[in-house]
Structure 1
């Protein structure tokens, strides 16, 4: 069949080429006839193939940077950008020649990928997953000696909810109904307000859910999504990819611990509208990425009120809801805040995102997540479902894991005590790592770092000497990217330049995860300090007094 179609296409191309040598028709076709092709005209496919063959014959590839979707060229994703690519090349070099570099391993502090840096999976979750993927184990007597009784029971319950008990089969495009109901029950228990499984869309991590909402909301470049700066570059990338406008971005206030000011939101919305941009939605990341702040409840209320008054969809990125490291802050979902203010589905369209990749579980590779969609009319919900249907369904293991993180072992379950030891151990260790890195950064000349209240990152500010800024410019690099590259080449530590997240003009930062195992943190701090001190000495402006620790020594730009 393939050969037949190829021969047929070649004949069509040949026919179209022969047709080009025939004399032109004596008179033009009537205007009405131009709306449909003549039966004798070569097909559009044949004409396209002729052009493609002609282009290839000329030596130009049929696909090049000039011919791909320009929106793909436009967006950037710094978390896995050029510095990470360079790190991977260095890692290959280390494998070939371990003595070739001034370090013995690459430390990937660029991305929130806990298991890759040594974090162990939560036992209960993996027990249930393994039993669901291999149900034959449930019938073996040895299983009861190897698995906890509540993991066995939970696996049976989950399999009963999956049609055919088949984790290798497609599910409903929103996800398995029973698992969605279980997630909704977990949301209701967390917030104290009703949740429905019909509002849950299970996805392969939170990122596809974000893309789905951008597809729904963005009609043209005249539609804008209000995003924070600094921001996780998924948002700027997805807005660009789907043809929207990123001009309406609001700056978080570094001086107040990356606070979100509603006055700044109003200013940016008004400015965007003055340029003819229709602002469709507000993105809020809480806890913050890359900034690590946790919003206060009163601040959240003001944000909800703002979205209500301005007619905006509230897109709440809440994937770090389990990652809270300070006693005076706690996570409140935006849905809980809105319901506590008396707002119903009729008052505020709200989408909240959750993922199995973060929290204390860190199951990035399992690709599980969901969005809870409330406040949309039934006809719009049908369109969201249609978008979900194009992808058929998310993977079943990720769906199961999403249900497990929202319904972990409870008091009285066999696994409860061991589960709590694992969970609390991970969170408390992350808190210690965050504090150690924060204190180390703040002890260094030319670096200031806000407290990590949550999430998995620190976002220190670099107060670079003017000579370093000049060296970066001469190298054709952003100053923070230049610093990050030098750090990688000297220490093997991979961080992400702040310019990849957006930052206030004249400021420079980098994002560093707190995820390397706790016993490696002292060595990372030692390597970092040694590099930073040498870097500052190399570019020190000898004409100026030495700046105190944590203070700026640059000659301008702040």
Structure 2
């Protein structure tokens, strides 16, 4: 007779059972089932579409999307993967690429070896120079940690901040579900503050302040606030006055400011809507607020999600806490070296006069132009549809349109045990092969429904036509009258 398994759902960490991560949740799982069915049975898969359109996640180089890797970064990576090419392949690579690869190789050696746990010092110096040039203030390489993407840095920092089950972390609603998922895993308390859709998904510092006051009144020890700028899933960009007011709220409530700035180069009109970092604002204000700022190679025009490269910088963080962060980073030995090399290429791209610059400029300009065109076109066409309203996005990779679903659809969703927008997104997937994420996975006000769509999809006109055809059919099927709002 077999004894019961020592590993069951009843025996695992109960906090993990509450973790939800919508961008790779139910819809993505179902889409993968369909993708495999199409691959294995290309002529008789029985589906009303022939491919999955991965609109659920900002993964620029994913099959089905068309953002190509930047040549400069891939050439550097190639030379460091096979260093013999630095000498034997001189006729294949631009001189500045060869020079940079040689410098990196002299610092790193084999990329198959562990690096410093905080990240390769040479690359941390490059990051500090990038920050200094961007903000006009010094940056200390010893306060910079290279990470396996920004997500690993966020998890590390939240692990340090969440001191008890009553520790609260303020998060925007809607939010990127990394934050709610990580807090659930670590038994922290998410303290929501709501973004204002009617004002372009703006952040109201007074609402943030009141949310902190209310949480403290409930006995929650509010320790930090997460700001995603530009926003995910909204694409909203904070103006400097709002940022200054948020810093003052942090001063008032003694909050650590966690600035998720991974979309800082995903701006569609940077001349009229420039990015300003929280590092610059904190330094301009001479504020004592503890700030931890995150960046990544996964977004921007780099789009190297799979390489897992990122960093965070600590500002106004005491040295003994820096030492603790380093100790915890050391438990993971080191971030992926290939990702660290990606960070080097992100923060120190070719400059005018380098052999690589003309191609790099051409490639990056093309990516920016494509994202701006797709974002504007999608927002315009979505706003022309019945039952849809969409805030135009100045940045990031997404739109977050609101769905004004008919009462009949809401009732049918309830009968199926689904949130209304999840019900909608599942129907969209079943009919068109478009895999999007329902607003329910990001958080929203009670009674609302949204959908997050990436603006990365190739053949954007055909993509939008599928969305339009589906929405009009859904609208006719379920009655076409707006639900009470």
Per the TM superposition, whether the score is higher than 0.5 is yes
Contact 1:219 1:243 in 2 (8 A): no
Partner of residue 403 from structure 2, selected from 447, 462, 465: 462
Shift of 1:209: 0.4
Partner of residue 52 from structure 2, selected from 94, 106, 114: 106
Partners of 1:150 and 1:328 in 2: how far apart? 33
1:496 aligns with 2:437: yes
Q: Which residue of 2 aligns with 1:393?
A: 334
Q: Secondary structure at the match of 2:91?
A: helix
Q: Which residue of 1 aligns with 2:373?
A: 432
Partner of residue 186 from structure 2, selected from 231, 242, 250: 242
Partner of residue 284 from structure 2, selected from 340, 344, 368: 340
Q: Which residue of 2 aligns with 1:527?
A: 466
1:373 aligns with 2:314: yes
Shift of 1:432: 0.3
Contact 1:227 1:235 in 2 (8 A): yes
Partners of 2:184 and 2:214 in 1: how far apart? 19
Number of residues of Structure 1 aligned to a counterpart in Structure 2: 480
1:224 aligns with 2:172: no
Give the TM-score normalised by structure 1: 0.85
Partners of 1:92 and 1:361 in 2: how far apart? 28
Partners of 1:266 and 1:305 in 2: how far apart? 10
Q: Which residue of 1 aligns with 2:343?
A: 402
Partner of residue 426 from structure 2, selected from 468, 485, 490: 485
Shift of 1:486: 0.2
Shift of 1:328: 2.2
Describe how 1:300-319 pairs up with structure 2 within 5 A. Answer: 300-319=243-262
Q: Which residue of 1 aligns with 2:79?
A: 131
Q: Which residue of 2 aligns with 1:510?
A: 451
Contact 1:161 1:179 in 2 (8 A): no
Q: Secondary structure at the match of 2:418?
A: coil
Partner of residue 471 from structure 1, selected from 398, 409, 412: 412
Partners of 2:384 and 2:136 in 1: how far apart? 43
Partners of 1:197 and 1:400 in 2: how far apart? 16
Partners of 2:398 and 2:5 in 1: how far apart? 42
Q: Secondary structure at the match of 1:351?
A: strand
Q: Which residue of 2 aligns with 1:416?
A: 357
1:295 aligns with 2:234: no
Structure 2: which 5+ residue stretches go unaligned? none
Shift of 1:144: 2.2
Contact 1:356 1:364 in 2 (8 A): yes
Say what the alpha-carbon RMSD is for the aligned residues.
Answer: 1.1
Partners of 1:107 and 1:216 in 2: how far apart? 38
Q: Which residue of 2 aligns with 1:147?
A: 93
Q: Which residue of 2 aligns with 1:212?
A: 156
Partners of 1:435 and 1:397 in 2: how far apart? 34
Shift of 1:161: 2.0
Shift of 1:293: 0.6
Partners of 1:340 and 1:406 in 2: how far apart? 23
Give the TM-score normalised by structure 2: 0.97
Partners of 1:134 and 1:93 in 2: how far apart? 38
Partners of 1:185 and 1:166 in 2: how far apart? 25
Q: Which residue of 1 aligns with 2:15?
A: 71
Partners of 2:9 and 2:209 in 1: how far apart? 38
Contact 1:315 1:352 in 2 (8 A): yes
Describe how 1:34-49 pairs up with structure 2 within 5 A. Answer: none
Shift of 1:298: 1.1
Shift of 1:398: 0.6
Q: Which residue of 1 aligns with 2:104?
A: 158
Structure 1: which 5+ residue stretches go unaligned? 1-55, 547-552
Structure number with bigger Rg: 1
Shift of 1:427: 0.7
Partners of 2:5 and 2:462 in 1: how far apart? 49
1:182 aligns with 2:126: yes
Shift of 1:138: 1.1
Partner of residue 121 from structure 1, selected from 52, 56, 69: 69
Greater relative CO, 1 or 2 (CA 8 Å, sep 6+): 2
Q: Which residue of 1 aligns with 2:116?
A: 172
Q: Which residue of 2 aligns with 1:15?
A: none
1:252 aligns with 2:195: yes
CA-to-aligned-CA distance 1:148-185 (integer Å, 9 cap, x gap): 110000101112222xx121111111001111011101
Q: Which residue of 2 aligns with 1:203?
A: 147
Partners of 1:337 and 1:380 in 2: how far apart? 22
Partners of 1:414 and 1:484 in 2: how far apart? 47
Partners of 1:299 and 1:268 in 2: how far apart? 16
